[in-house]
Amino acid sequence: MSEDVKSPSVARATTNVARIGVLRLTDSAPAIVAHEFGFFADEGLDAKLSVEPSWANVADKLAHGALDAAVILPPLALAMALGLRGPTEPLIVPYCVSLGGNTITLRKDVATGLSRNAAGVVARLREIGAEATLGVVHDFSTHSLLLRYWLAAAGAIAERDYRLVVVPPARTVEALETARIVGFCAGAPWGEVARRAGAGSTVAHSDDVWQSAPEKCLAVRESFAAEAPDRMAGMLRALYRAAQFCDAPENSTYVAALLSRRRYVGVDSHAILSSLSGGPTGSNTSRFLKHAATFPWRSHALWFLAQMRRWGLISPDADLKAAARLYRPDLYAAALAPVGAPIPASDAKIEGEHREDWLLPASPAPIAMRADAFCDGALFDPASVA
Amino acid sequence: MSPRIILIDSDQRRANDLSRTLFEAGFLDVTLVDPRRVPIDSVAGLKPDLIVMDMSLPDRDALESVRSLATNARGPIVVFSNEDDPAFVAEAIAAGVSSYNLAGVSSRDMRLILASAIAIYRRQANVESELAAATAALAERRLIERAKAALMARRKLSEPQAYRWLRNKAMNESRKIAEVAASVVAEIDAEAKPAKQDPDAP
């Protein structure tokens, strides 16, 4: 092949590198497993996994080319594409990483009797009054949108009935203890970490707001995808293989132990285990494979965009349909159909339609799906987005 | 008027170094903020013109949120993203510096301030790797001393002879002296502790 190249090791180093950013979160699991178990290497990739301290770092490094791809919050990827954060580096989302996994966690003394009770939480926030402050991990986050949705369904609007501030997940325990916030919405394992520290108590999960809610996605620099389509397809295949591993309950203890390493999430493995499929039943769970968790639904992109517009995070005249083209189910199919992954027959679906398990038409075989209802019973038809 | 600069860094010494450099360059209004002690929201109350921050802190997301609220802008402006020199940006990212231009700091001043920050953050990274190298050298030296002492006792060699023995063996086997010393020390340790009495023995 390239035997005539003088220094094959150098040539390999410069042509097969894929730099991937993740944060200290349970849903970094497939990327970490793919890296540690050599799944990227099996696809011929020299993957450099970089654990970043903040979403701002991930966004900057993607925008300036210090990362090729990252496990990221879909609203942040969309905000970057709309030019709301730094330079508009063209990104694509050819793959999604996880469904669910977030908790709404309140300070222990505030949370009593409020489990799955949005109306009760709203009443408690009203009692606390103007200084009732809740934390989310980023302005453009799934957490901000899910928390706003859940509380709005019970009548409370952010910045009118409660304050919303950004608190990094690793500082939430401290923020609860010093009473800077009365609660927060963050990804696993941070709700469980707060519970174990005796600071907080979880009152709701992603599922209580929107069943099977999409969580992290994989954003890739468009230039990387264009220059190295094979490398990108290999990256998706390695992540998909890791997702198969991470989603199997019998592997959860391995995954939790691996993620607990200081270089990754750096918290007790049991706090991580509780949000994996093999953790205690009924707990908050991140799903990595089943129920089409990895498919980049255009209807998910449009839902995020519609919610961002609802809360004034993007301008009313922004072209949402154009922004949603960031999601690339075509590239997903091109990379994963050859390895037998079922490919949904459609790129979008009506969200919120199913209160029970259902079957999604897909090729070569239909996909078993979970309920996808919203807490307020709403339906979201992507075709209705103007 | 000197622009009001805030340095957010949990490394007190590095922040002090940078503020001294800026002071000498004529930027007199520099405030240090340690994010472990001061909630990041309070930074907005200090009404800075420019914030320079350590990129390895988790607090950037909170800062960006506060910033966009305070100025009602559509989103945070990261200074180096407005620079048209990608190499300069890459350098800032590699050095671990991010910065936010909040008001009217001239681009010449900003570049100067950022360049100082990059130099100081990078110098610290170098100092750390030098320190690691020095620590490793010290450990090697200790190993060689132990091996020499052992050889002197067992083979009745003088100190220079023991060193020459190590050096010749290293040359013959094309290994580093420290590696040869390590195997000599390992041999002695193995003899001193019979395996069956050592629960930690492999």
**pLDDT of the residue at A158:** 95
Asked which of A164, A192, A209 is the last residue of a domain, the reply is A209
Structural domain contains residue B76: yes
Give me the pLDDT at residue A259, please.
98
Q: Are residues B82 and B170 both part of a single domain? A: no
Residue B75 has pLDDT above 60, yes or no: no
Name the residue facing B60 among A54, A86, A87 (closest C-beta).
A54
Give CA–CA dist A329/A345, Å, rounded: 11
Same domain for B108 and B158, yes or no, is no
Interfacial A residues in 292-331 facing B (CB < 8 Å): 315
Give which of A133, A228, A220, A214 is closest to A172, Cα–Cα. Answer: A133
- pLDDT average, residue stretch A286-308: 98
CB < 8 Å from B in window 155-214 of A: 165-171, 180
Same domain, B144 and B164: yes
Q: pLDDT digits over A303-344, tens only?
A: 999 999 999 999 999 999 999 999 999 999 999 999 999 999
pLDDT tops 90 at residue A126: yes
Secondary structure string (H, E, C) spanning chain A:
CCCCCCCHHHHHHHHCEEEEEECCCHHHHHHHHHHHCCHHHHCCCEEEEEECCCHHHHHHHHHCCCCCEEEECHHHHHHHHCCCCCCCCCEEEEEECCECCEEEEEEHHHHCCCCCCHHHHHHHHHHHHHHCEEEECCCCCHHHHHHHHHHHHCCCCECCCEEEEECCHHHHHHHHHCCCCCEEEEECCHHHHHHHCCCEEEEEEHHHHECCCECCEEEEEHHHHHHCHHHHHHHHHHHHHHHHHHHCHHHHHHHHHHHCCCCCCCCCHHHHHCCCCCCCCCCCCCECCCCCCCCCCHHHHHHHHHHHHHCCCCCCCCCHHHHHCCECHHHHHHHHHHHCCCEECCCCCCECCCCCCEEECEECCCEEECCCCECCCCCECHHHCC
**Domain check: are A229 and A330 in the same one?**
yes
pLDDT surpasses 80 at A229: yes
Taking only the tens place, the pLDDT of each residue in A200-215 is 999 999 999 999 999 9
- Are residues A219 and A339 both part of a single domain? yes
- CATH classification of the domain holding A225: 3.40.190.10
Is pLDDT above 80 for B79?
no
Q: Is residue B202 part of a domain?
A: no
Proportion of chain B above pLDDT 70, given as a percent: 85
> Could you give the percent of chain A with pLDDT greater than 70?
96
In the predicted structure, residue B81 carries a pLDDT above the cut 50: no
Residue A299 and residue A196 in one domain: no
For an interface test with B, the pick among A25, A139, A142, A143 (most B C-beta atoms closer than 10 Å) comes out as A139
Same domain for B85 and B22, yes or no, is yes
Is residue A87 less than 8 Å (CB to CB) from chain B? yes
Q: Are residues A80 and A219 in the same domain?
A: yes
H and E: helices and strands count for chain B: 7, 4
Does B197 score more than 60 pLDDT? no
Question: Structurally, how many domains does chain B consist of?
Answer: 2
**Mean pLDDT, rounded, for A135-146:** 97
Task: Say whether pLDDT at B193 is over 50.
Answer: yes
Residues ≥6 apart with Cβ < 8 Å to B189: none
| A309 interaction partners in chain B (CB closer than 8 Å) | none
Instruction: Let me know: does B143 contact B176? Beta carbons within 8 Å.
Output: no
Shortest Cα distance from A166 to chain B (angstroms)? 5
Range of the domain at A129: 102-209
pTM, rounded to two decimals: 0.84
Work out the average pLDDT over A127-156. Answer: 96
**At B146, which CATH number?**
1.10.10.10
Contact: A66, B41; criterion CB under 8 Å = no
Judged by average pLDDT, the poorest of A239-243, B5-9, B105-109, B186-190 is B105-109
CB contacts of B41 in chain A (<8 Å) are: 165
Q: What is the pLDDT of residues A364-381, one digit of tens each?
A: 999 999 999 999 999 999
State how far residue A244 is from chain B, nearest Cα, in angstroms: 31
Same-domain check for residues A196 and A58: no
Question: Which residues are A51's β-sheet partners?
Answer: A22
Pairing of strands A133-136, A183-187: parallel
Residue A6, pLDDT score: 41
CB-CB under 8 Å, A55 with B61: yes
**A84-115 pLDDT, tens digit each:** 877 778 999 999 999 999 999 999 999 999 99
CATH code of the domain covering residue B21: 3.40.190
Cβ distance of B61 and A137 shorter than 8 Å: yes
Q: Are residues A200 and A330 in the same domain?
A: no
Q: Which residue of B has its CA nearest to A83?
A: B75
Of the candidates A65, A84, A166, which has its C-beta nearest B75's C-beta?
A84
3-state SS of B141-157 is: HHHHHHHHHHHHHHHCC
Q: Is A273 within the bounds of a domain?
A: yes
A113/A168 same-domain check: yes
User: Is A189 part of any domain?
Assistant: yes
- Residue A11, pLDDT score: 42
Q: In chain B, positions 48-87, which contact chain A (CB-CB < 8 Å)? A: 55-66, 68, 74-78, 80-81, 86
| B17 and B106 housed in the same domain | yes
CB pair distance less than 8 Å for A168 and B81: no
Range of the domain at B78: 5-129
Whole-complex ipTM: 0.88
CA A140 – CA A78 distance, rounded (Å): 9
Q: Are residues A195 and A243 in the same domain?
A: no
Domain count, chain A: 2
Answer yes or no: is A63 within a domain.
yes
Give the angle A169-A170-A171 at the CA atoms, nearest 5°.
90
Mutate to test the interface with B, among A48, A51, A78, A85 (most CBs of B within 10 A): A85
